[in-house]
Amino acid sequence: MSKDKLRAYGIGRFQVMALLQAARYYVLLGDLEKAKSFGINRAIFYAWAKYYGPAREGWYRIKIEELLRRGIKDEVKKTKCPEGFKEVLGECIQVSTKGYYKIGDKEQQPEDFDYQVIAKLRRFIDDNKLWEIAVNYVKQYPEWVLRDPRRFYKLVYEPIRDTFLVNIIEGKEPQPPKDIIIKLKAADKIYEESKKRQKSLTDFIRR
């Protein structure tokens, strides 16, 4: 199954983004229903941003090495969101009275995720198996990557956006690219070594 054939069924990067964003939310925060709402919400937002929004000139062009070098494992900075928006995993998103995510006046419900993602892929793979594979893939990345929207986009989504579904349909379980895993392990090592060199306030006072 080629990606061209998938496109003929209306399946492409949009479904990959929605699926992985939903899995990301679920791994970090739980709540499957809200995870589905978040996934389809972010897929719509990034599809818009690719052509019309800030992503055209933004961080999505940054190189992976630079992204890791910018404050390895630093917590995502809290963003002050405008009224009606809530910070969720490093981004300001509108939240409905039901607790689902929305864009403008349109609430993205779990059923929208099922219709736009699950229903289109159901002809190729069992729903539960698809979700299990997506969650297992996301779980292979450290939390400090998943909580940062830039790192998630560059390290989790972008490298496999054109092969993820093709691999699944062909019976292969997608894996993070080896070079990225090597870089992440190196980043972890640097971080741990830097922590060992840092003295606590108590140790500093006792000198």
Is the per-residue pLDDT at 63 higher than 60? yes
For 116-134, b/e burial (b = at least 16 CB within 10 A) is bbbebbeeebeeeebbebb
CB 197, CB 204: distance < 8 Å: no
Cα 49–Cα 151–Cα 128 angle in degrees, nearest 5: 85
Q: Show the tokens assigned to 65.
A: 């090495």
Beta bridge partners of 60: none
Phi first, then psi, for residue 15 (nearest 5°) are -65, -35
Angle of the 13-29 helix axis to the 127-139 helix axis, nearest 10: 70
Global pTM reads 0.83
pLDDT (mean) for 150-164: 92
Pairing relationship of beta strands 106-108 and 101-103 according to DSSP bridges: antiparallel
CB 21, CB 38: distance < 8 Å: yes
More confident residue, 116 or 72: 116
In the block, tokens 């159901």 appear at 122
DSSP annotation of 114: I
Burial (Cβ within 10 Å: 0-12, 13-18, ≥19) of residue 76: middle
Beta bridge partners of 103: 106
Phi-psi category of residue 104: left, alpha or beta, with phi > 0 → left and psi -120 to 50 → alpha: left
Query: Which band of pLDDT confidence, cut at 50, 70 and 90, is reported for residue 93?
Result: very high
Q: Show the tokens assigned to 63.
A: 């190189």
pLDDT in tens, 188-205: 777 777 666 655 555 545
Q: Where do the structural domains in the chain lie, given as residue ranges?
A: 3-73+108-206
